[in-house]
Chain A
Amino acid sequence: MPRLKKLAGAILTLAGVGVVAGWMLSAPTKIDPQVIAAAGSGDAAKGERIFNAGGCASCHAKPGSKDEGRLELTGGLALKTPFGIFIAPNISQDSNDGIGAWSLEDFAHAMLKGVSPSGEHLYPAFPYASYARMKPADIADLYAFMQTLPAVGGKTGGHSLAFPFNIRRGIGLWKRLYLSNEPVVTFVEATPEAVIAGRYLVEGPGHCGECHTPRNFAGGSDKTRWLAGAPAAEGEGIVPNITSGEGGIGEWSEGDITNYLETGFTPDFDSVGGAMVEVQKNMAKLTPEDRAAISAYLKAIPPHPNGYPPRKQATN
């Protein structure tokens, strides 16, 4: 009996240590304020490029809006994923319902660390796992640009997630595993500048890997199959393999990729579809140099076979 008591005590102590350790390990961390201060006050004109590269409007514009309406960042788009339904929030300049009251520091914490001004973890449906690789100066420029956009009222509804994903604190542990500002693909010295510039756009603001890379059970990107394509997080179908591996775009030239990003047409004149339609519209607003850099990077990364299971053969 005393032995049993001892054992129970040991288990309780261990559990207690586990809870405390888990609590400490999951604590939200913010970015060093000095890093943000060094980024300067930001240039709105430059920030527009980052806004387009980052595809902010794709999720945060009012669903169904067009042209200028894409700059009204009311949120409201529902992302139906295996973890539950995420609702893109209002990130317009409204100081109550949007982010109009956020300081540059608040904004940088959200973009680079996935932490809200009140110190809570944000869900990685907001792709800060990619944005974490962005340069602080670009964050400052983006902040300046977004301040020029309209304030539109209207709070969006909350996410509806299944256990255990509804426990925000748990995201802290997820971040320990998957949040890094290091580049995914490392290149040898003397790699062409365009490839490095493309890496920044693809792995950072462009957050291409969020959809084009398969995820593991915990929702982390599987970097051993970087950009190999994945089952669509939302609904049916797949997101294509954009490496040069089997099933990918190895037959596309750099010019083909650049042209696709600009016009939405594949080399055999099929067109862009699905969620990529909005992405391509953003890519079309970048400079030809930026699109060429993205292409150069995609042709330079390690090839992988498709990151999604083969299609079921037709039964009829």
Chain B
Amino acid sequence: MRKLIFAISILTFAVSAASADPVLDRQQIMKERGKIVGELAKVAKGEQAFDAAQVDTALKALQVNAEKFDADALFPAGSTDGDTTASPKIWEDMAGFKATEDKYLADVKAAAAAAPADVDALKAQVGVIGSNCSTCHQTFRIKKG
């Protein structure tokens, strides 16, 4: 009986660990992030009409997305296997990685709080936000086939 309980507890532990796959979780967040930035960029480039309320909603969604980014939970030690493009540099320099993400969050918060009133104001904010993407991907992501 004891053995069985032990086996079950091991099994449930394994299952719960597998269902909370940090690789999938972080990819989900990045995909959502790209989608929201894409919406904002289309407006900033004039491909879509500027609608202050819509922009406000998108910026707030971007902030919620940024706040979901918990480096410790999403990038636990050893989550380098599998279908990931995360660079080992994340774990070599976790403090630097977190600082990069913190700066991004601060820029998104500032943009949401600023509530851009026209295309030019939005363009400036998108520029600031967007520069964070390449800064982080330059060091902390590896392109894979």
Contacts and interface: CB of A to CB of B under 8 A. Distances in A.
B134 A264 contact: yes
B85 to A, nearest CB: 8
Interface string A91-134: 00000000000000000000000000000000000000000000
Contacts of B81: 314-316
Contact of A269 (B37, B85, B137, B145): B37
A273 B134 contact: yes
Nearest to A274: B143
Contacts of A314: 81-83
A265 B144 contact: no
Interface in B65-112: 81-83, 85, 87-88
A292 to B, nearest CB: 16
Interface secondary structure of A, over-half rule: loop
A268 B37 CA distance: 10
B137 A271 contact: yes
Interface residues of B, number: 22
A213 interface: no
A306 interface: yes
Contact of B142 (A237, A306, A315): A237
Interface string A261-300: 0011100111111110110100000000000000000000
B130 A236 contact: no
B11 interface: no
A5 interface: no
Contact of A273 (B38, B130, B143): B143
Q: Which of A237, A240, A247, A280 has the most CB of B within 10 A?
A: A237
B130 A237 contact: no
Contact of A274 (B37, B83, B138): B138
Given A269-B37, A274-B138, A264 B143 contact: no
